[in-house]
Amino acid sequence: DAKTTQPTSMDCAEGRAANLPCNHSTISGNEYVYWYRQIHSQGPQYIIHGLKNNETNEMASLIITEDRKSSTLILPHATLRDTAVYYCIVKSISGGSNYKLTFGKGTLLTVNP
Amino acid sequence: GAGVSQSPSNKVTEKGKDVELRCDPISGHTALYWYRQSLGQGLEFLIYFQGNSAPDKSGLPSDRFSAERTGGSVSTLTIQRTQQEDSAVYLCASSSLPTSGRALREQFFGPGTRLTVL
């Protein structure tokens, strides 16, 4: 799986959009970008994933650059409950054990009132 | 429906004792995973179940660790003769059947069991 780089921490004002960047410059053609988050003392939570097109669901939007070397997770109207560590992961669709999730350090997003 | 549940939420035990951790996956999810997360550490894969069989046990750290799944549903993770280094949060996740050639299915995690070995 390609390596990802994320800022250690970010702050966002409540009600504003939170834009979380992820660099994955070594991503290959058959690798997807996934985002999970982990709120303090809870299990990780799936947010969204994409291959090359931008994706949106009820939780967030995922913007992937045309060269696929970086992406941004957007929480359009951040709330205090969105304070969590956000993990960007790159996973291949091939390979017998691609189900194994491994998280790096992630970005601690703090939403401030 | 209900999400993944785990019990107990907290377990404090003495070194050398055996512990059993339980996971109830989302109904209908055929794949079940155990992970652990130590303080300040990342997510560590332990074992993967497909139905009642475990095709991948590669992450179990020692033979003191075992897991089983019955009826394609509930799973128990057993740690024998616990050691202090076993202290961690043990997370269970479930998903629809993983498929090759397509995007990895999202995994739904339980709240975890915090194990403390004194």
How many CB pairs below 8 A link A and B?
Answer: 65
Q: Compare all CA atoms of chain B with the CA of A95 and give the residue at the minimum distance.
A: B100
State the DSSP H helix or E strand holding residue A59, giving kind and residue range, or none if neither.
none
Amino acid A102: pLDDT: 85
Tell me the sheet residues that pair with B19.
B79
Is B32 near chain A, with CB under 8 Å? no
Specify whether the CB–CB gap between B87 and B117 falls below 8 A.
yes
Could you report the per-residue pLDDT of A47-62, keeping only the tens digit for each? Answer: 999 999 899 999 999 9
In chain B, count H helices and then E strands: 0, 11
Q: Compare all CA atoms of chain B with the CA of A106 and give the residue at the minimum distance.
A: B42
Query: Using CB atoms, which residue from A46, A98, A102 is nearest to B43?
Result: A102
Measured between alpha carbons, how far is B80 from A84 in angstroms, rounded to an integer?
33
Specify whether the CB–CB gap between A13 and A31 falls below 8 A.
no
Specify whether the CB–CB gap between B109 and B95 falls below 8 A.
no
Contact criterion met (CB < 8 Å) for B91 and A98: no
Tens place of pLDDT per residue across chain B (118 aa): 589 999 999 999 999 999 999 999 999 999 999 999 987 778 899 999 999 999 899 999 999 999 999 988 999 999 999 999 999 999 999 998 766 666 678 899 999 999 999 9
Residues of B in contact with A90 (CB under 8 A): none
Q: Which of A45, A55, A91, A101 has the highest number of chain B CBs within 10 A, making it the mutation to test binding with B?
A: A101
Amino acid B102: pLDDT: 65
